[in-house]
């Protein structure tokens, strides 16, 4: 893949991001704790995705490292909506203090959240997110912790095809937030929006398997 083609994909991805952002900004989300937590986490996941796109060409090691928090916040959003206990939501939504920071350490990690979603989440959601984790986790951990992946890429460079694949995975997680938006607003039209966007931006998306409802 040429650098010029990757730049075109970045422009297309920015257009997709703008449409997804507009959908979130124009939506009304319920006031219940699970909805507030999920909406805030989806917004954070979208922000990580935006940062990845902005950094991809200039600072690819940092862009790659941000894909793990983008994924984790998406998982936590689905978990918050469907599987979190009231005590967990209270810890997550508490005002930031030294005490609440310590209490938040009791929040579950990704394996525990996926296990809970396997029982309480939408049909197939845990399996879908678990497959994404299995494909991406080792490489993302290496980038987050300064392992062999970023070290060797620093020596040899980042192939444009690798950056394109990363961009498409990032876009897929951005798209999956639209499914959460449909749930949080109760507006099934957002599922149609996702379908339309998937068709229009298929060139910058992997084969996307949406969260079952």
pTM, to two decimals: 0.88
Whole-angstrom CA distances from 18 to 7, 62, 102, 129, 144 are 17, 22, 36, 24, 27
Give pLDDT, residue 136: 75
Query: Which residues of the chain, if any, have pLDDT below 50?
Result: 211-213
Compute the 3-state secondary structure of the chain and give helix, strand, coil in percent, each to the nearest 5. Answer: 75, 0, 25
Give pLDDT, residue 209: 54
Residues in Cβ contact with 142 at an 8 Å cutoff, skipping those fewer than 6 apart: 148, 149, 150
């Amino acid at each position: 893949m040429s650098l010029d083609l990757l730049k075109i994909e970045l422009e297309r991805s920015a257009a997709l991001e703008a449409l997804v952002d507009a959908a979130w900004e124009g939506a009304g989300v319920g006031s219940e704790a699970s909805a507030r937590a999920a909406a805030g986490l989806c917004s954070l996941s979208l922000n990580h995705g935006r940062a990845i796109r902005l950094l991809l060409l200039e600072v690819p090691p940092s862009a790659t490292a941000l894909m793990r928090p983008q994924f984790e916040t998406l998982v936590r959003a689905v978990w918050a909506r469907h599987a979190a206990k009231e005590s967990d939501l209270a810890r997550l939504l508490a005002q930031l203090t030294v005490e609440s920071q310590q209490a938040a350490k009791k929040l579950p990690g990704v394996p525990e959240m996926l296990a809970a979603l396997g029982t309480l989440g939408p049909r197939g959601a845990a399996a879908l997110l678990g497959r994404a984790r299995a494909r991406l986790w080792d490489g993302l951990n290496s980038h987050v912790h300064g392992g062999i992946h970023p070290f060797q890429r620093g020596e040899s460079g980042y192939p444009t095809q690798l950056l394109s694949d990363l961009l498409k995975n990032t876009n897929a997680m951005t798209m999956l937030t639209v499914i959460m938006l449909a749930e949080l607003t109760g507006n099934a039209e957002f599922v149609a929006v996702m379908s339309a966007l998937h068709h229009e931006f298929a060139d910058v998306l992997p084969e996307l398997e949406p969260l079952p409802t």
